[in-house]
Amino acid sequence: MKLGAKIVVSITVFFSVIFLFGGYLLISYFYDITMEREIENAAKQYQYNKFVVQANLIIREEEWFTDALEGNYDISAIASDLNGTVALFTMDGQTLFSGFPKGTELSRVLSGARQDKVNYQFCKLGQRTYLFLVGIVAYNDAGVYLVTGIDVEEVLIQQEQIIGKFGTVYALAVGIGICLVFGISVFITRPVRQLTIATKKIAQGDYKERVMNGGTDEVGQLAENFNRMAEAVEEKIEELLENAKQKEDFVANFAHELKTPLTSIIGYADRIYKKELPREEQKKAAWYIWNEGMRLEALSLKLMDLTILDHKEFGLQEVRTDLLFYELAEEAAYLLEEKGVSLELSVEPAYIRVEYDLFQTLFLNLVDNAIKAGAKQISVTGSVGSASEGYITEGLYFIIKVKDNGSGIPRQEIERITEAFYMVDKSRSRKQHGAGIGLALAEKIAQVHGGSLKFESDGKSGTSVGLCLKCKGVEDDEEK
């Protein structure tokens, strides 16, 4: 059963019962008071009539009855002074006077009548209902039954009309109430319905589905929270898809990178095995096998490093930048000299926190990347800046820039340059034993140090790689 229907049914039933119960109590109360009022009014009329009859009894005594029974005295003369419809009976039940319709049998109402108390009862005479008050009016030994009838038909009709009006009001109230409650329930449950539709769509894979914000009430808050949840789910799903794609690409690239050297190794090994080759050719084949094996080894080491970087925590140590880069330059000197590349170093002194071996790998990878891009000149600068300059939110920062005059990276490739196995120029890279892992590794190391590599290149005249790290000024250290 739907929530809206539940609301309509429960409210309608609840208010119907309350309305009917309240109406019953009110009308019952009205019955009570109108009937009591009628009895009270009838008692007053009876009292008045009693006085009139009593006065005549006192003045005329029993002669009155005899004269009246014999037709010598017209009681209707005093009856005109009486209130309501009146009948008078002698104590033996003979009718002295009756204002009631002819043939009305009243003897049954006389039984049990007393002088000090008045009996009352309701009786139907023809089409009308009367409230009879019966008592005895006595003087000395003489007495008469005095019957006063008050027509209460109007009161009963009024009661009927009230019930009828109550029924009309009830029907209207229920009708209008159902419409109103239905409208309200539709209004209240609309956000819930929207939520239901949205959840269905999301379940079917439409993660972009959102619900309208339905105000500040609980349902509105639910809608807002639902939207937040949907957004988080969408982001997570996108992230998972991205990761899955990256892994897929990684596996594909890895397989491809394995295949190329293995093909060479298998080919040259097969040649040596199947054919009697001259010593020179054997050496050449063995060199190829060694060379490709080295490539595979380098590839496996770098992949291992990548895996380790993902899962290991490193202890960073504070080092002085000018000394650090001097040492790093020393490390790279052989490589640079071999390739005929000059390195220009200009580093401001400051303190940064690094893991030396990793940072060395990062530096050598950047230098190696520049050499592979055909650079003949590499400049490394390190400068201290403040947060107000926009790199970081607070404190000092140390920005390292490695610039080369190599072939550069096309703008559209820059975003993917740190992906594993991604190579801008694959043939050139492979010739230089590259597998597209170096920059991915460098980025990981930068992240370990709390930074990120920023590549800038126009794709023609070299590349600039920046790395920003938190630092401490030399002055601070000297003050200590």
Partner 1 sequence: MRKNKIGTMLVFLISLVIVIGGWFLTKALLDQKRAEFLGKRGQISLQPSDSASFLAEGQESNVSGKGDGAAFLGEAVSEEMMAKVLAVWESGGREKLHEPKPGQMDMEQALEAGKSWINTMTEQGIIPEKLAEGSYDTIAARLCSVDTRVDFDERLLSYWSLYFAKDEITVTLVVHALSGQIWKASIFLWEEDGLTENYTEIEKWIPIAFPFMKEGKSEFVGEGSAGRVFSEGKVCAFVKVSEAHDMKGEWVKFLLHFEFELSLMENGDKIYCYITNN
CB 404 within 8 A of CB 463: yes
In 204-278, which residue ranges form alpha helices assigned H by DSSP? 218-274
What is residue 282's three-state secondary structure?
A: helix
> Is position 55 an interface residue for partner 1 (rule: CB under 8 A)?
yes
Among 62, 67, 69, 139, binds partner 1 (CB under 8 A): 139
Q: Which residues pair with 383 in a beta bridge?
A: 399
Among 66, 121, 300, 346, binds partner 1 (CB under 8 A): 121
Distances (CA, A) of 83 to 88, 119, 126, 196, 212: 13, 17, 21, 75, 76
Measured distance CA(48)–CA(62) in Å, rounded = 21
Among 3, 37, 41, 52, binds partner 1 (CB under 8 A): 52
What is residue 54's three-state secondary structure?
A: helix
> Is position 156 an interface residue for partner 1 (rule: CB under 8 A)?
yes
Residue located via tokens 């000297």: 478
Q: Least separation, in Å, of the C-beta of 15 and partner 1?
A: 9
* Range 70-89, binding partner 1 (CB under 8 A): 78, 81
Q: Smaller CB distance to partner 1: residue 78 or 202?
A: 78
- With 0-12 CB in 10 A as exposed, 13-18 as middle and 19+ as buried, what is 18? exposed
Q: Which residues pair with 149 in a beta bridge?
A: 85, 132
Tokens of 266: 């298998």
Among 41, 54, 95, 464, binds partner 1 (CB under 8 A): 54
> Is position 170 an interface residue for partner 1 (rule: CB under 8 A)?
yes
Residue located via tokens 């023609």: 460
Q: Least separation, in Å, of the C-beta of 40 and partner 1?
A: 9
> Is position 117 an interface residue for partner 1 (rule: CB under 8 A)?
yes
Q: Least separation, in Å, of the C-beta of 255 and partner 1?
A: 51
Q: Which amino acid is at 119?
A: N
> Is position 41 an interface residue for partner 1 (rule: CB under 8 A)?
no
> Is position 173 an interface residue for partner 1 (rule: CB under 8 A)?
no
Q: Smaller CB distance to partner 1: residue 28 or 107?
A: 28
> Is position 157 an interface residue for partner 1 (rule: CB under 8 A)?
no
Measured distance CA(457)–CA(408) in Å, rounded = 6
Angle at Cα 304 formed by Cα 298 and Cα 309, nearest 5°?
125
Distances (CA, A) of 403 to 113, 345, 467: 129, 11, 12
Q: Smaller CB distance to partner 1: residue 135 or 466?
A: 135
DSSP code, position 101: P
Among 3, 33, 37, 51, binds partner 1 (CB under 8 A): 51
Residue located via tokens 């939110």: 393
Closest CA to 369 of 402, 414, 411, 325: 402
Neighbours of 192 (CB within 10 A): 17
Neighbours of 14 (CB within 10 A): 10
Among 7, 69, 91, 174, binds partner 1 (CB under 8 A): 174
Q: Smaller CB distance to partner 1: residue 22 or 395?
A: 22
Among 3, 4, 7, 20, binds partner 1 (CB under 8 A): 20
> Is position 1 an interface residue for partner 1 (rule: CB under 8 A)?
yes
Q: Least separation, in Å, of the C-beta of 138 and partner 1?
A: 9
Per CB under 8 A, the segment of 40-48, 89-97, 276-284, 440-448 that binds partner 1 is 40-48
Q: Least separation, in Å, of the C-beta of 213 and partner 1?
A: 31
Neighbours of 7 (CB within 10 A): 17
Q: Smaller CB distance to partner 1: residue 47 or 95?
A: 47
Q: Least separation, in Å, of the C-beta of 206 and partner 1?
A: 24
> Is position 203 an interface residue for partner 1 (rule: CB under 8 A)?
no
> Contact residues for partner 1 (CB under 8 A)?
1-2, 5, 9, 12-13, 16-17, 20-21, 23-24, 27-28, 31, 35, 39, 43-44, 46-48, 50-52, 54-56, 58-59, 78, 81, 114-122, 124, 129, 133, 135, 139-140, 156, 159, 163, 167, 170-171, 174
